[in-house]
Structure 1
């Protein structure tokens, strides 16, 4: 292990995830929240957020039929078009709950669909998503304080908000038992991820919900390295159609293997192809039977936090080796901030 990693809050937050999931699974009122959801009147479930919070919606919507991912960045940019004729249940994700788009989404809903139900899932009990009074029926889920990551990059906040949404919208299950099982898996997995030299660039690919886990993984690498390490994401089959041009001899390629067949076969086939075509690159598969063997008995979406943990760990290690402030990679640059707030919001027109 690289010396000094434990000094970073981000490193500690990554490794706190198993215990967070265990305690949260025992606390979350799944039955009560599912009951509230079933009592609401809506046409469709929308998952809204920006950046990592949007990718949570992408992962869930790719797994749970009858739901959509509607990034808050899209909704706020053109609310009248996005909300025209809609009566959704809007599920908003936000670590801080104070981003410009979180506030803009609430403004748009108040103006255009004031009676539409809302479910806010946030890590900050003091943020706007937790405290603002809604014009319509609303429910707020405030995650444990430990998920309100101090580091720039979302880690425990990402995984715990994702698992919370799956607990409420996926097929009913024994949530405490499932989160305990996932926590045990991550405890066993994390030590396996602390190895390897820093590459020049990184690629993450996956299929189904793991396509968007790959998106989150690539973002973690770019954020934590302050852009010094280019990272690309794509779907398993989509990667060959041009994006493969990104690969060089110093590229680390990670393929998240979907547990379903024939989906998994496409991932293993791609890994073999890339190993032959780019013998100087590193190709690693993560998933059932992969180079890092991760069982996925609950499906791909539930396993997404296990896959993304690889990029969380590697991203911290690589950023640390670059001499960066891992908890604030853009310190002194004034280009990116932990909470996006410098967006001018314009009035919503009806």
Structure 2
């Protein structure tokens, strides 16, 4: 790889993740926050966000029992359907904390569930998720400044918000030790990533939490290539039911493989099938014993940032080879922006 990629903030932010996790694992008040959560009264935990921030909730809900992913885009579009009569603990994710849907979700909560407990996890100390007040029991978790990515694509913000929520809602563990171990794993994984010729299209699949990690991986490729590289995602077993039609000889297919049986066996069967059916396509596995070997000792949800980082790296390389501004791939187009704005919010119907 001959490109000078360190000139891009996105590249630097991807590679800063291990150090961020090590420091944040030491700083996060897990015991205090878990105690606060235990003292609240709620029926369900909702994980809310838009885009990548919503996919964080999908990953957690596929792993943590009693958790539900409710995208803020869905709440804003139909707030009464979700909030009337509900008694959730709402966990809001937002890199900037200022997207229209983040603000709209806070508006909907104030109108329809004003006493619902909230945890706002954000990377921007000056955003609405960090600064807006309410009468509801609320915890504000502002991540280190380094996670407030300069680049268009969410990288360290995605991973650190996800790991923060898992530290609070998954089974208790030694969080500093776990974050340090994950950082070491990512350092190792980053040395294993081979960059081949840029494919015409890309596929990511996985099962359980790794299916939604696949969704985030596909989004990274499309965002960083400004839509010039089509990418799809699906579950391991779901991929055969139509989406496999997307595959051509010029497709890169990545399977995020689970450490758990029987899931691991289904992943392996799909990889073998695709290698037989599409001998000219590139089929790669990422996971324990895979082409990129990531052990996943803490389960697939905790490993999601590790496998997604591979897509982050390749997305930057491919974006650069396309001659794009990696930190702002849509520069000059005015179609997508780093923080979604300009969405008209309508009054919440009581």
Same topology, TM > 0.5:
yes
Query: Quick check: 2:257–2:268 contact (8 Å CA) kept in 1?
Result: yes
**RMSD of aligned alpha carbons:** 0.6
- Alpha-carbon distance in 1 for matches of 2:2, 2:177: 34
Counterpart mapping for 1:237-316 below 5 A: 237-316=237-316
> Which secondary structure does the structure 2 equivalent of 1:192 belong to?
coil
- Alpha-carbon distance in 1 for matches of 2:46, 2:154: 21
Q: CA deviation at 1:2?
A: 3.2
> Which secondary structure does the structure 2 equivalent of 1:108 belong to?
helix
Which residue matches 2:339?
339
Counterpart mapping for 1:1-350 below 5 A: 1-350=1-350
> Which secondary structure does the structure 2 equivalent of 1:146 belong to?
helix
- Alpha-carbon distance in 1 for matches of 2:286, 2:128: 37
String of CA shifts for 1:34-81, please: whole Å, max 9, x gaps: 011111111100000000000000000100000100000000000001
Query: Quick check: 2:189–2:293 contact (8 Å CA) kept in 1?
Result: no
Q: CA deviation at 1:82?
A: 1.1
String of CA shifts for 1:310-329, please: whole Å, max 9, x gaps: 10000000000000000000
Number of aligned positions between the proteins: 350
String of CA shifts for 1:209-240, please: whole Å, max 9, x gaps: 00000000000000000000000000000000
> Which secondary structure does the structure 1 equivalent of 2:89 belong to?
strand
Query: Quick check: 1:53–1:158 contact (8 Å CA) kept in 2?
Result: yes
> Which secondary structure does the structure 1 equivalent of 2:212 belong to?
helix
Query: Quick check: 2:84–2:113 contact (8 Å CA) kept in 1?
Result: no
Q: CA deviation at 1:289?
A: 1.2
Query: Quick check: 2:76–2:108 contact (8 Å CA) kept in 1?
Result: yes
String of CA shifts for 1:111-162, please: whole Å, max 9, x gaps: 0010110000000000000000022110000000000000000000000000
Q: CA deviation at 1:176?
A: 0.2
- Alpha-carbon distance in 2 for matches of 1:233, 1:84: 33
- Alpha-carbon distance in 1 for matches of 2:246, 2:139: 44
TM-score, normalised on structure 2?
Answer: 0.99
- Alpha-carbon distance in 2 for matches of 1:253, 1:342: 36
Query: Quick check: 2:205–2:256 contact (8 Å CA) kept in 1?
Result: yes
Query: Quick check: 1:2–1:317 contact (8 Å CA) kept in 2?
Result: no
String of CA shifts for 1:288-312, please: whole Å, max 9, x gaps: 1111111011000000000101100
Query: Quick check: 1:57–1:70 contact (8 Å CA) kept in 2?
Result: yes
Q: CA deviation at 1:194?
A: 4.1
Query: Quick check: 1:118–1:139 contact (8 Å CA) kept in 2?
Result: yes
Query: Quick check: 1:194–1:313 contact (8 Å CA) kept in 2?
Result: no
